């Protein structure tokens, strides 16, 4: 990627978060800037892309939060990392009690995906499509489904001298067209801020962890938008000691294939990581939120009544199977969607944090 090469010609090394920012979000050649992601490719499937059931359940969660706030006439929903707008559309289609009060704001950095949203959500007058978090302080809820894993992170490695930062440097021996890597890893001392995001434990030498600089800063900023209300964070996540022990938390996706070396195809591959829960909890508490629940997605959806929705869908299918109408067909798909959304080895194993304040 030419921009990264130019940056590293001026610097001895850069942080991994800087490398990731350019590789994913550069306006000219970044992965997401070119419209890649859950709506533009099929490397992975997110919960909203499985069908309408996930949006229906999120709608129930929003309605519960709206009722808990006293059913205000104006209630803001901010969906960060909204992708194609599929989740927003299904929430609004659910037509729950809050429908007349809701103002739905989708936040998506990718201009190409915002254009997709404009087509997907064009008929809804209560939807605003933004490139960044809004500058407001209101009652409502912020939803981030599989956002935190794509926010920039740095990498720490445990050495005989303690934690060190893994940075990115240009390989001076690399030439265009040869097989040697263009970018290399180098170790450097950790600064105080990055050190503060690593829990106090000592794994085996060589163990690595993501340093959630982007997620930590995003939560602090997002919290300023919600005066009274909640944050719902959904992602694949784990505790620091577990991630350091098992490894494998860093992944790339390119041309429908999964990889593990983020330095190989900058701009052409998604870069993602399991989210370290420890600093996420700290960021929420530091921002004045109390963590109401931390469960798996399967448990969260069960608490929202996903089994009842499956039963209702099966009844609709049995009642309309002979006609084959749309309602019956949607009902028939409920069981399949629910199985995918609650699979403990897949989407059902994701962590859902619900935090409130006010």
Tens digit of each residue's pLDDT (9 = 90 or more) over 234-267: 999 999 999 999 999 999 988 878 887 999 999 9
Give pLDDT, residue 42.
Answer: 43
> Residue 339, SS3?
helix
Residue 218 scores a pLDDT above 60: yes
Q: CA-to-CA distance for 116 and 84, rounded, in angstroms?
A: 6
Q: With 0-12 CB in 10 A as exposed, 13-18 as middle and 19+ as buried, what is 154?
A: buried
Q: pLDDT for 119-174, tens place per residue?
A: 999 999 999 999 999 998 889 999 999 999 999 999 999 999 999 999 999 998 76
End-to-end, the C-alpha distance of the chain in Å comes to: 46
List the chain domain ranges. 2-30+153-210, 47-151+212-242+249-302+346-357, 304-339
Of 158, 155, 165, 148, the C-alpha closest to 275 is 148
Give pLDDT, residue 257.
Answer: 84
Q: pLDDT for 39-92, tens place per residue?
A: 444 446 799 999 999 999 999 999 999 999 899 999 999 999 999 999 999 999
Phi, psi of 130 (to 5 degrees): -125, 160
Question: pLDDT band at 95, cuts 50/70/90?
Answer: confident
Is the model more confident about 313 or about 117? Answer: 117
Q: CA-to-CA distance for 229 and 138, rounded, in angstroms?
A: 8
Give pLDDT, residue 110.
Answer: 87
157-191 per-residue burial string, b: 16 or more CB within 10 A, e: under 16: bbeeeebbbbbbbbeeeeeeeeeeebbbeeeeebe
Q: pLDDT for 324-345, tens place per residue?
A: 566 666 667 888 899 999 999 9
Give pLDDT, residue 255.
Answer: 81
Q: CA-to-CA distance for 127 and 105, rounded, in angstroms?
A: 6
Of 355, 354, 342, the C-alpha closest to 53 is 342
Give pLDDT, residue 99.
Answer: 80
Give pLDDT, residue 41.
Answer: 42
DSSP, res 198: S
pTM above 0.95, yes or no: no
**Cα dihedral: 41, 181, 14, 165 (round 10):** 100
What integer best gives the mean pLDDT of the chain? Answer: 90
Residue 321 scores a pLDDT above 60: no
Of 305, 260, 293, the C-alpha closest to 96 is 305
Percentage of the chain modeled with pLDDT above 70? 91
Give pLDDT, residue 323.
Answer: 59
Instruction: State the architecture of 47-151+212-242+249-302+346-357 in CATH terms.
Output: 3-Layer(aba) Sandwich (3.40)
Report how far apart, in Å, the C-alpha atoms of 179 and of each of 6, 10, 269 are: 20, 24, 19
């Amino acid at each position: 990627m030419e921009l990264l090469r130019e940056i590293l010609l001026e610097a001895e090394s850069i942080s991994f978060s800087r490398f990731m920012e350019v590789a994913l979000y550069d306006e000219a050649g970044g992965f997401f800037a070119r419209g890649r992601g859950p709506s533009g490719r099929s490397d992975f499937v997110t919960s909203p892309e499985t069908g309408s059931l996930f949006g229906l359940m999120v709608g129930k969660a929003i309605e519960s939060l709206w009722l808990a706030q006293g059913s205000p006439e104006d209630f803001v929903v901010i969906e960060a990392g909204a992708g194609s707008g599929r989740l927003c559309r299904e929430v609004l289609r659910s037509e729950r009690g809050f429908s007349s009060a809701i103002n739905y704001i989708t936040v998506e950095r990718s201009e190409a995906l915002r254009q997709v949203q404009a087509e997907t959500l064009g008929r809804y007058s209560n939807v605003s499509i933004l490139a960044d978090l809004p500058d407001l302080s209101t009652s409502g809820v912020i939803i981030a489904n599989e956002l935190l894993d794509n926010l920039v992170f740095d990498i720490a490695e445990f050495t005989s001298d303690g934690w060190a930062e893994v940075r990115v440097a240009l390989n001076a021996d690399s030439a265009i067209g040869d097989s040697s890597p263009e970018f290399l890893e180098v170790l450097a001392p950790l600064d105080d801020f990055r050190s503060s995001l690593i829990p106090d434990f000592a794994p085996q030498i060589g163990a690595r962890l993501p340093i959630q600089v982007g997620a930590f800063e995003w939560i602090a900023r997002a919290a300023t938008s919600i005066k009274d209300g909640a944050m719902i964070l959904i992602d694949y996540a784990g505790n620091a000691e577990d991630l350091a022990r098992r490894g494998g938390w860093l992944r790339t996706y390119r041309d429908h294939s999964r990889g593990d070396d983020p330095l190989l195809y900058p701009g052409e591959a998604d870069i993602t990581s399991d989210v370290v829960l420890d600093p996420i909890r700290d960021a929420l508490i530091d921002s004045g939120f109390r963590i109401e629940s931390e469960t798996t997605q399967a448990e969260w959806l069960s608490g929202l009544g996903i089994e009842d929705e499956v039963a209702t869908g099966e009844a609709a299918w049995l009642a309309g199977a002979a006609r084959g109408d749309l309602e019956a067909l949607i009902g028939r798909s409920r069981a399949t969607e629910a199985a995918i959304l609650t699979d403990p080895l897949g989407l059902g194993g994701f962590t859902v944090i619900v935090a409130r304040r006010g």
